[in-house]
C-alpha cells in the first residue's frame, strides 16, 4: 500500500490520508471544497463542486491516475435539490468517460459544506 500526499490539495484534517494505492487501484478520501491551503471555499454549490474537482484532480495526478481512469465516484450532498447543479459541474469533468456513480443526500458534511466526492481509479 502506498499513501498519496500532494500540496496541491488540502491536507487531511484528521487521522487519514488524501488517498492510497493498493495494487493498481487508487482510493481517494472524500474531497470537500477546501483550497490547497486549507481554507474553506464558501461559495455556491457549483463553485464548491469545482473546488472539489480541483482537489480530486490533484490527488489523482499525484497517484498516477486521472478522471479518465476513475471507475467509481461517490457523491455526498447536503441537499438533493442541489443535484441538478452538482450534476452539471460533474458532467464537465466526466464528459465522454462516465464512471459508475452513487449519489446520496446526507444530514451533514465536514465543515458544513454542500458537497463531498470520493473516487476509485485505476493507476496508469
- Each residue's pLDDT expressed in tens, for the chain with a length of 124 residues: 999 999 999 999 889 999 999 999 999 999 999 999 999 999 999 999 999 999 999 999 999 999 999 999 999 999 999 999 999 999 999 999 999 999 999 999 999 999 999 999 999 8
pLDDT value of residue 13:
82
Using CA atoms, how far apart are residues 70 and 63, in angstroms rounded to an integer? 12
What's the pTM value of the predicted model, to 2 decimals?
Answer: 0.97
Using CA atoms, how far apart are residues 38 and 22, in angstroms rounded to an integer? 27
Work out the end-to-end distance of the chain between its first and last CA atoms, rounded to an integer number of angstroms.
16
CA-to-CA separations, 11 to 17, 54, 59, 62, in angstroms, rounded: 8, 14, 11, 13
pLDDT value of residue 111:
94
pLDDT value of residue 21:
98
pLDDT value of residue 124:
86
Amino acid at each position: 500500500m502506498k499513501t498519496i500526499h500532494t500540496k496541491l490539495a488540502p491536507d487531511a484534517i484528521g487521522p487519514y490520508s488524501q488517498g492510497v494505492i493498493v495494487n493498481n487501484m487508487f482510493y481517494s478520501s472524500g474531497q470537500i471544497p477546501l483550497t490547497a491551503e486549507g481554507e474553506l471555499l464558501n461559495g455556491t454549490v457549483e463553485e464548491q463542486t469545482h473546488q472539489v474537482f480541483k482537489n480530486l484532480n490533484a490527488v489523482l495526478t499525484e497517484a498516477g491516475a486521472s478522471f479518465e481512469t476513475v471507475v467509481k465516484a461517490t457523491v455526498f450532498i447536503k441537499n438533493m435539490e442541489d443535484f441538478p447543479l452538482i450534476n452539471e459541474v460533474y458532467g464537465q469533468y466526466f464528459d465522454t468517460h462516465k464512471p459508475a456513480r452513487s449519489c446520496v443526500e446526507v444530514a451533514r458534511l465536514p465543515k458544513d459544506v454542500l458537497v463531498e466526492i470520493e473516487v476509485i481509479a485505476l493507476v496508469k
